[in-house]
Chains A and B, each alone.
Chain A
Amino acid sequence: MSEIEVRNLHFSYTKGQEVLAGITLDLNLRPTAIIGQNGAGKTTFVKLLKGLLKPTEGDIFVKGYNTKEKSVAFLARYMGLVFQNPNDQIFKSKLIDEVMFGPLNIGQDEKTAKRNSLEALDLVGLRNRINENPYDLSLSDRKLVSIASILAMDTDIVVFDEPTIAQDYRGKEKIKDIIRYLKDKGKLVITIIHDMDFVAETFERVIVFNRGKVLLDGDTRFVYSYRDKLRTASLEQPYVMQLAQKLHIGTPLLTVDEFTDWFNKR
């Protein structure tokens, strides 16, 4: 059984206007990036995985449970979603209360919730600010608070909607480390993201959404080699790959390190 099974998924907010038009795929333990143009249905898709929306046709099974038959509260034990806009998620006036809310809510006892929350805040680098009001933090730090809140719930599946928004270089490195850490802990990480180079450096599998359907799905290097198909979905290859192609280098190089190694060994 896969962690998540999506079968012939259709969804529309307004009758006759399909946002998702027949998606079938399995999500396993490989860190997976979902990319696609604005309005392609990516956020809608993860809301459906989380059970916040229900399919108009087809089914989604999370850990074997059909999302149509289970409550959002039940599914929350298995899957955490970090919202695109942290302001939609944050509502407590103290950072530690904010992060502990989720774990307590899915039934962790006070002690476990506290331990998990402190650990999560450590991971995002905000442990020394637990008594502050989240709304006094910058947008990038608030995004890290929203990430910590989900990590503290210790769910098997973690979904990020645009985790690198407002992050600088160090913030992005931190998020990269968190994704690797979650992978090592045996968790499924799914991320919606527009930063192609970040994807190239961090994710093993890439799924391209286009007009409510899956355009490409496979290993990162494989998906990124389809330049023209990516363009039809308003996407681009990672910068390193663009340079390699312009130089007619036959090897699909994804990262700065790969390029440097290739050059030195040629």
Chain B
Amino acid sequence: MFFMKIITVEHLKYKYPLSDKLALDDISFEIEQGEFIGIIGQNGAGKSTLCQALVGLVPNFYKGSYGGTVLVNGINVSKTEVSEVASHVGLVFQNPFNQITGSKLTVYEEVAFGLENLGLPVEEMKRRIDNVLNLLGLYEFRDKNPFDLSGGQMQRLAIAGIIAMQPEVIVLDEPTSQLDPQGSEEVFRVVQRLSEQGMTIVMAEHKMEKIAAYSDRVMLLHDGKLIDFDIPKKVFSREDIEEYGVITPVYTRICKNLDIKDENGFYPITIDEAHERLEKIL
């Protein structure tokens, strides 16, 4: 099978204006189309900055000093208009309050905003909006003012607005922080389905149990550097992982305490794997 490289980052370095420290320090990696990539690392590691760099807001909005290249679907994002980049790669902000336009009076129109900017025919817009509102459980709130939604509903709206635009790549910066457990699980399932349909997903997240269960590969960042980029099992089995301010999934911690590994020397990272190992012993 042929896998297309959809994101190629080479020697990316970046420094915010007024800062004397590199926020991203010589980062290189490649992502294939349809992959679900998790970005982990402690706060300040560079997760949000990397998300912003993938859509070109770093450096085009934030300015600062920039080196290296970020290619998404063949376009060099730092040298392309943000509006042009937006049709290829969408970003779901960390704080949904920052993403809601404030210029629309209903949830329905809010989702339409991005589509209007793409210049889609009305029928196509309606089809996509209905679809995405149903997908994220927001249909019943379609006539509500976005600012009357609860924190979690607003977060799902921010995700809906991006999914509706159907970009090739979606970058999500802690998209489930304000969601209840089932709501958060639903977002992971929706995103996984999109990745199975060929959309590429990059998600910064602190919910390690979810990252372990859903992502194809995990990127571990620390101090602006790329420490590791591998399958979740390998990354979460690193003996030094806590030194990077990252806690492993609950299941991994239990198995580590009990010294339970699989035949390849990795700790279980999901409930099913932990269950399978522990059941044999109990």
Contact = CB atoms under 8 A, between A and B. Distances in A.
Contacts of B271: 239, 242-243, 246
Contacts of A263: 254, 258
Contacts of B181: 194, 196, 234-236
B264 interface: no
B183 A37 contact: yes
B9 interface: no
Contact of A247 (B153, B178, B282): B282
A260 B153 CA distance: 37
A209 to B, nearest CB: 10
Interface string A194-214: 101100000000000000000
A5 B28 CA distance: 58
B174 A166 contact: yes
Contacts of B249: 239
B245 interface: yes
A170 B247 CA distance: 9
Nearest to A88: B97
B275 A243 contact: yes
Given A84-B151, A167-B43, A243 B250 contact: yes
B274 A243 contact: yes
* Best-surrounded residue of A256, A264, A266 (most CB of chain B within 10 A): A256
B180 A234 contact: yes
A218 interface: no
Contacts of A239: 209, 249-251, 271
B194 interface: no
A234 B187 CA distance: 13
Contacts of B152: 37-39, 194
A112 interface: no
A162 B96 CA distance: 15
B184 interface: yes
Contact of A170 (B149, B180, B245, B258): B245
Interface string B140-163: 000000000111110000000000
Contacts of A140: 43
Contacts of B282: 247, 249, 266
A12 interface: no
Contact of B182 (A84, A138, A162, A236): A236
B178 A138 contact: no
B178 A194 contact: yes
A138 B23 CA distance: 13
Nearest to B96: A85
Interface in A235-265: 235-236, 238-240, 242-243, 246-247, 249, 256, 259-260, 263-264
Given A239-B251, A246-B271, A260-B257, A169 B150 contact: no
A126 to B, nearest CB: 13
15 contacts: A37-B183, A38-B153, A39-B152, A84-B151, A165-B178, A167-B43, A169-B246, A194-B179, A234-B181, A238-B250, A239-B249, A243-B250, A246-B271, A247-B275, A266-B282
Interface of A: 35-39, 43, 84-85, 87, 138-141, 162, 165-171, 194, 196-197, 231, 234-236, 238-240, 242-243, 246-247, 249, 256, 259-260, 263-264, 266
CB-based closest 3 A-B pairs: A38-B152, A169-B247, A234-B182
Interface of B: 41-44, 48, 94-95, 97, 149-153, 174, 177-185, 206, 209, 245-247, 249-251, 253-254, 257-258, 271, 274-275, 278-279, 282
Given A234-B181, A247-B279, 19 more contacts: A38-B151, A39-B153, A85-B95, A85-B97, A87-B95, A139-B95, A140-B43, A166-B94, A168-B206, A169-B246, A235-B180, A238-B250, A247-B275, A256-B253, A259-B254, A260-B257, A263-B254, A263-B258, A266-B282
